[in-house]
Amino acid sequence: MSLCHHPHLPLENILLPSYNTARCVMQAMSADSGLLYICGCVEEQECNDKLIFYNQSNGYSLLHSREAVPVAAISLLPPLLLALTVTGLFYLYRTHRLRKRPESWLERAAHNVPLQSRRPGHDFCRLSSSLMSASQCNISTARANSINHNTELLPIELDHRVGKGRFAEVWRAKLKHTESGHYEMVAVKIFPAQEYSSWKNESGVFTDANLKHDNVLQFITMEERGSCLHKEYWIITAYHARGNLKDYLSRHLLSWTSLLDMAGSIVSGVAHLHSDYTPCGAPKVAIAHRDIKSSNILVKSDSECALCDFGIALRLDPALTADDFANSGQVGTARYMAPEVLESRVNLEDMESFKQMDVYSLALVLWEMVSRCEAIGEVRNYELPFGSMVRERPCVETMRDVVLHGRGRPDIPDSWRRHPGLDILCDTIIECWDHDPEARLTAHCVAERFIIMRQTDCEDGSRNTNSLFNSGQY
């Protein structure tokens, strides 16, 4: 230790020797506690910065007390160097092995390597995806690796058309296994040449590595097909045989459990789009779908759905300005348009405005689902929102009269509220289609409501079970 001490007073019962020097020469002294090394200096302010020990064999040696390297660090240096050497050798070995191994088309896509080039007399396809992996698409690695995408398009045979929208047609197709001869079903969305911008926009959304989610349609790849005279643009995705939610609801009734699961999955998908973070916590760019409706939702199973059709979706990149958003125009389907969209009074300075439009449309989809749930009692024939107020394909002017001026909303009968969970869901729907955009719930809040509904459902089930036990019926 180092301290200021009066030289005429004892330290550890020892008087300091040679204290009036400019150097600190350590001297061994006997003390009650054992052998002590002591020095003293007075002439310089930092004269004890260098401690001098006398060594019988080597003369004087300096110990820089403030710059000394800890003994523990010196003893750990050899094993640390050895570990770094082993790690470096292992890295070089792995790099050498990977360079020798042929790269699959999935891996090339993951690294954004161009997968083919234009050749005279052959179709040209551009395949790009930053999120392709064996777990993200239904293509087997063995079969995918057998396709040479430097010269070939995916071996797809169109089966039949399953849908047609404003910008593109959707086909069910067979994606062949080139080695085994077997095939699997995929969906192919085909854009004509004049809808290139829509294809480009949807492809840009799909190739966002952070879009992947169980409740968002699974993307496989995108391609350019045809000749210069007849060009087509394809987006290839997973295929779901149950079709879209609109058609499914027209043919099926939902149990309360199915409604809770299917609607909850849709809400989860929307919340993921709107989130600024991935489920792992990594930053992501939020996305506004801008055309949420039952025909743009696919039914994966009796308990799960997936959002699709991102042709007019908007990436809410903080780098974009209000002018950029203004160029996006009045988009969506009139029946599902929020009041502020119908009025063309969207706050372009606030990106939350685009999320609020989605939440309004989501509320109408939830209403459609509730109207086909057995838990409400008497279930009527399926109808779209505002079905009793407007014709089949209402224009913007018609919806402006109903929603904006008349403040109309689909009817929620009192009978729907007899079920505890449905009562919460009805309140949620009303809060989501509020006329004031800022008063609406966020998609994340709606997701939390579904957690509450599940808890309510479990509590009701528990109470019912207890009552059966008490009555001796169970």
How far, in Å, are 13, 28, 29, 37 from residue 34 at the CA level? 12, 10, 9, 10
Low-confidence ranges of the chain (pLDDT < 70): 1, 17-20, 33, 43-46, 53-73, 94-151, 327-330, 459-474
Predicted local distance difference test score (pLDDT) of residue 466: 52
The pLDDT tens digits for 73-106 are 677 788 888 888 888 887 777 665 544 443 433 3
- Strands 24-25 and 50-55: what pairing? parallel
- DSSP codes joined into one string, 412-432: --GGGGGSHHHHHHHHHHHHH
291, 309, 358, 434: the catalytic one is 291
Q: What is the CA radius of gyration of the chain?
A: 36
Reported CATH class of domain 1-66: mainly beta
The pLDDT tens digits for 387-415 are 989 888 899 999 999 999 999 999 999 99
Domain locations along the chain: 1-66, 105-238, 245-466
What is the sign of the dihedral through the CA atoms of 84, 86, 87 and 92?
positive
User: Under 8 Å CB-to-CB from 173, ≥6 apart: which residues?
Assistant: 156, 157, 158, 159, 185, 186, 187, 188, 236, 239
Give domain 245-466's CATH architecture: Orthogonal Bundle (1.10)
d(CA 52, CA 60): 7
- CATH code for the domain defined by 105-238: 3.30.200.20
d(CA 22, CA 419): 92
Predicted local distance difference test score (pLDDT) of residue 330: 60
Task: Please provide residue 102's backbone torsions phi and psi, each rounded to the nearest 5 degrees.
Answer: -60, 140
pTM of this prediction exceeds 0.75: no
The per-residue b/e assignment along 300-316, b for 16 or more CB within 10 angstroms, e otherwise, is: beeebbbbbbbbbbbbb
Question: Residue 32 catalytic?
Answer: no
Contact 189, 168 (CB under 8 A): yes
d(CA 239, CA 249): 19
Owner of token pair 């609607």: 263
- DSSP codes joined into one string, 271-336: HHHH-SB-TTS-B---EE-S---GGGEEEEETTEEEE---TT-EE--TT--HHHHHTT-S-S-GGG
Task: Please provide residue 414's backbone torsions phi and psi, each rounded to the nearest 5 degrees.
Answer: -60, -30
Predicted local distance difference test score (pLDDT) of residue 470: 52
